A and B are shown apart, each in its own frame.
Chain A
Amino acid sequence: AQRVTQPEKLLSVFKGAPVELKCNYSYSGSPELFWYVQYSRQRLQLLLRHISRESIKGFTADLNKGETSFHLKKPFAQEEDSAMYYCASKDYGGATNKLIFGTGTLLAVQP
């Protein structure tokens, strides 16, 4: 079965430090991958999708097929980046358009 793995439950960094939130996936083909962010008590918001190769709020994520990874990076963390981050993949195991999520990483940016 497809899996999305986020090994870190919590990542604590100081403001201005680089951030890397890890995500690994299991899928032998070309996956569709996403990062979602959830600020305190708010909705899940799409942060990035790998096909668009865009940078949102300074975050980037590159698909590495060799390592089956899609790590989220930001060179200089800001306090407002503190949130729950979920990596997700399109689930190719069924007929419809659904996502498989990782367990999430809580990013805490200290002042």
Chain B
Amino acid sequence: EPEVTQTPSHQVTQMGQEVILRCVPISNHLYFYWYRQILGQKVEFLVSFYNNEISEKSEIFDDQFSVERPDGSNFTLKIRSTKLEDSAMYFCASSSTRTTTGGDGYTFGSGTRLTVV
């Protein structure tokens, strides 16, 4: 079964440092997403990406965040200057269609746990 792969599984970084979280979506999927989950809280939408541009972003996704699909296979989330409150589990997802329930729906990766110290 195809999978969405995320690396690293756990990253520790110092406050103020830049981090890049990496995701390899399923190869024939066209729509890509990042979600995050702060410990003890709900999974929250960050951003969606299609056709090499952001389709939608939440209020969480401020200027410190950026996404990129640099080489046609990877989908990255960059946080320019990390803050303590950026500590969370970050999930990547991809889908083959624009609808939530059509086709493959959503496939999530196993997440990257980011700890900012």
Binding site for B on A (CB under 8 A): 4, 32, 34, 36, 41-46, 49, 51-52, 86, 88, 90-91, 94-104
Contact = CB atoms under 8 A, between A and B. Distances in A.
A108 to B, nearest CB: 17
> Could you say which interface size class chain B belongs to?
20 to 34
B111 A43 contact: yes
A1 to B, nearest CB: 12
Interface stretch (B11-19, B62-70, B76-84, B100-108): B100-108
B42 A90 contact: no
A98 B42 contact: no
A42 B110 contact: yes
A40 to B, nearest CB: 11
A35 to B, nearest CB: 12
